Amino acid sequence: MSDFSQDQTMAPAAPQSDRSHQSNGSNGNNGQQAAENPRKLFVGNLSWGITTEDLQQLFAEFGSVEEAFVLTDKFSGRSKGFGFVTMSTAEEAAAAIEGLHQREVDGRQLAVNVAQPPRPRTEWGSGDRNDRRPSGGGSDRRSSFGSNDRRPSGGGSDFRRGR
């Protein structure tokens, strides 16, 4: 058994509430998780200096904040410039949108909207980017990148004669 599979079997299962962002339709609720949650807000165009605590304090002015987080780069730890906030009620969320959308905070105009459910991820090459990518294995890749043109001639008779 590899190290990866051992780590995977020992990892504790996440509580159901933490899985709400992972909607694959296989949980038996007929895709209800993918429905829009009017209490969860997307907050965009954040200043790089805004922290999760700052975001929570900003939205607390409009009601009780259940959850707030700023997304950060996993390597640098720097803010990605957006986050999510979940308010206690839909009315508080609507008030936060009304009060904070296009409001200037740290020199940047915030974008505050009801968060959209994540789109299901598709396999690479299955229609993304207007179908510009090859959709299969390596055989398409070789011909589409012109690698045949880059191969050495193999030293044929024309090569030796300088033709």
Please tell me what DSSP assigns to residue 15.
P
CATH class of 34-118: alpha beta
Please give the pLDDT value at position 119.
86
Cβ pair 40, 85 in contact under 8 A: yes
Q: Output the CA–CA distances (angstroms, integers) from residue 101 to 71, 104, 112, in the order listed.
A: 19, 9, 5
In this structure, the number of other CB atoms found within 10 A of the CB of residue 89 comes to 13
What pLDDT does 118 receive? 87
Q: In angstroms, rounded to a whole number, what is the distance separating the alpha carbons of residues 39 and 129?
A: 31
In terms of Cα–Cα distance, which of 129, 45, 115, 33 is closest to 79?
45
**Sequence spans of domains, the chain:** 34-118
Calculate helix-pair angle for 90-100, 52-60, nearest 10 degrees: 100
How far apart are the C-alpha atoms of 17 and 33, rounded to whole Å? 11
pLDDT < 50 stretches in the chain: 1-33
Which residues are 114's β-sheet partners? 41
Complete DSSP assignment for 80-118: EEEEEEEESSHHHHHHHHHHHTT-EETTEE-EEEEPPPP
Average pLDDT, the chain: 73
Whole-angstrom Cα distance, residue 16 to residue 45? 30
pLDDT, residue 34, reads 53
pLDDT at 13: 36
pLDDT score of 10: 36
